[in-house]
Amino acid sequence: MNNIIEKVLPNSIAEEVEIEPGDKLISINGNAIKDIIDYRFLITDEYLELEIEKSCGEIWEIEVEKDYDEELGIEFAEAILDKAKTCTNNCMFCFVHQLPKGMRETLYFKDDDSRLSFLQGNFVTLTNMKEEDIERIIKYRISPINVSVHTTNPELRVKMLNNRFAGKVYEYLKRFSEAGISINCQLVLCPGLNNGEELERTIKDLYELYPSVQNIAAVPLGITKFRDNLPKLKTYTKETAKQEIELVKKYSDKFMKEIGHPFIRLSDEFYVMAEEELPQAEFYGSYDQLEDGVGMLRLLENTIKENLEILDINKGGKFTFVTGSSAYKHINKISKMIMDTNPNIHIEVKKIINNFFGDTITVTGLLTGEDIIDQLKGVDLGDYIVMPNNLLKKGYELGKCDEQLLLDNYTVPKLEEILKKKIIICDFTGEDLIQLIDDHCREV
């Protein structure tokens, strides 16, 4: 447990009562602080008695009167105050098991922690939870919680997760639903296992728990070339991706009529593989499932359209956009939109083949610095390289890290040094792309 205060916000309650960085929070109203969930729950009261251990070792007892839910204005050295819970599953489709050695350290850590689900949006399987953990979620109303369900068939889930405790997921979901906890569900679909009839069963079961279960995001499994001694799994083809789209459409159309939104949505990869048009923006609502790649390409395209008027047609420049195979067609489309609006801008879209993981991995977020360098070195890259920030991580899984790292530990400055070109990092939804392009153009 690490309750050390790293930062005190200016003009906050904590600053007013002379709490300082380096102090340690021991208890609130006599309750020991076990982790960040305890802290979040206990500070909601209007009257607090804080026990603080100063960096010099003195113990201060501080009384605080404040508004209900008002923050104290402190940040801790560790996000959850103790170690994240490790995943105890051995999922047959687990991406971590398909990683080679020598990658970013945090990639090898599999978290399965409901606190990270609440704080950072991580998905949990609920397989390593004791009864007290379930009761604590209900007591503290930890909501929303993001759950990797995959299937509601108990026997199949035990098999897929290779964990004898995995079959209780629907029982837990029902308890959360009865307690009014909001739930977002994720399914990793594996052809021949949890798709088809099994997928229909899962959709129906989860819909029974609506509105507590707010939505379902379904993504295809990812298969790398590093699967030695792992179960043999099928990948999606153009035909099987089409079948999944048709099946899900049958249910999403039904749910649209009943509740006003599709309830289940497929990730963009299915539509790319099937060579079908993406659904329109209305289908995605408020884009709640972007982290699963659901609606990302539609949002990108619409965002670019809405911001084209920002471009200054008296400026120009040459840019290279970096993308993976699956988004290549769509990135070309938005590039043409930009160039049609301002003919002084030239954009070259470079499709980076994922040689590192194998060409079955096509999403941009899983590209490595090694492949980007190999395929861009010696190429005319114009004035700037543009890369989406979903290529980069900050190492939050095991602790804080200020360096922006790619999967194979390359940093942005290192890429710039090797490619001899400045790199612009943009929001992967395209929210700031047009402005960044305009800012980096020059007068013509």
Counting Cβ atoms within 10 Å, is residue 183 exposed (0-12), middle (13-18) or buried (19+)?
A: buried
Give yes or no for residue 396 having a pLDDT over 50: no
Give yes or no for residue 82 having a pLDDT over 60: no
Give yes or no for residue 343 having a pLDDT over 60: yes
Give yes or no for residue 106 having a pLDDT over 80: no
Instruction: Give me the phi and psi of 63, to 5 degrees please.
Output: -100, 135
Mean pLDDT on 136-146:
84
Bridge partners for 49 per DSSP: 63
Give yes or no for residue 180 having a pLDDT over 80: yes
Pairs from 331-338 (Cβ < 8 Å, separation ≥ 24): 333/301, 334/300, 334/301, 334/304, 334/430, 337/304, 337/305, 337/308, 338/304, 338/308, 338/311, 338/434, 338/437
Least confident of 75-84, 124-133, 284-293, 316-325: 75-84
**What was the pLDDT predicted at 361?**
93
Domains of the chain: 5-76 (2.30.42.10), 96-294 (3.80.30.10), 300-443 (no CATH)
Mean pLDDT on 422-441:
93
Instruction: Provide the whole-model pTM.
Output: 0.83
Least confident of 8-12, 131-135, 398-402: 398-402
**What was the pLDDT predicted at 139?**
84
The more confident residue out of 76 and 189 is 189
Rg (CA), the chain: 24
Mean pLDDT on 7-34:
90
**What was the pLDDT predicted at 397?**
40
At residue 394's C-alpha, the angle toward residues 392 and 397, to 5°, is 120
**What was the pLDDT predicted at 121?**
54
Tokens linked to 396: 């939050």
Q: In 3D, which of 99, 86, 87 has the Cα closest to residue 166? A: 87
**What was the pLDDT predicted at 110?**
62
> How would residue 113 be classed by pLDDT, with cut points 50, 70 and 90?
low
Mean pLDDT on 353-372:
94
**What was the pLDDT predicted at 41?**
80
**Cα separation, 170 vs 175, whole angstroms:** 9
Give yes or no for residue 67 having a pLDDT over 80: yes
Q: Which residue has the tokens 């051995």?
A: 90
**What was the pLDDT predicted at 85?**
62
Q: In 3D, which of 24, 30, 22 has the Cα closest to residue 49? A: 30
Read off the pLDDT of residues 406-419 as tens digits, 9 standing for 90 and up. 988 899 999 999 99
Mean pLDDT on 333-357:
97
> How would residue 103 be classed by pLDDT, with cut points 50, 70 and 90?
confident
User: Residue 290 carries which side chain, given as an amino acid letter?
Assistant: L
**Cα separation, 333 vs 349, whole angstroms:** 10
Q: Is 37 helix (H, G, I), strand (E, B) or coil?
A: helix
Q: Which residue has the tokens 């992967």?
A: 428
Give yes or no for residue 1 having a pLDDT over 80: no
Give yes or no for residue 399 having a pLDDT over 50: no
Bridge partners for 50 per DSSP: 28, 62
**What was the pLDDT predicted at 83?**
60
**What was the pLDDT predicted at 80?**
52
**What was the pLDDT predicted at 401?**
46
Mean pLDDT on 366-375:
96
**What was the pLDDT predicted at 386?**
97
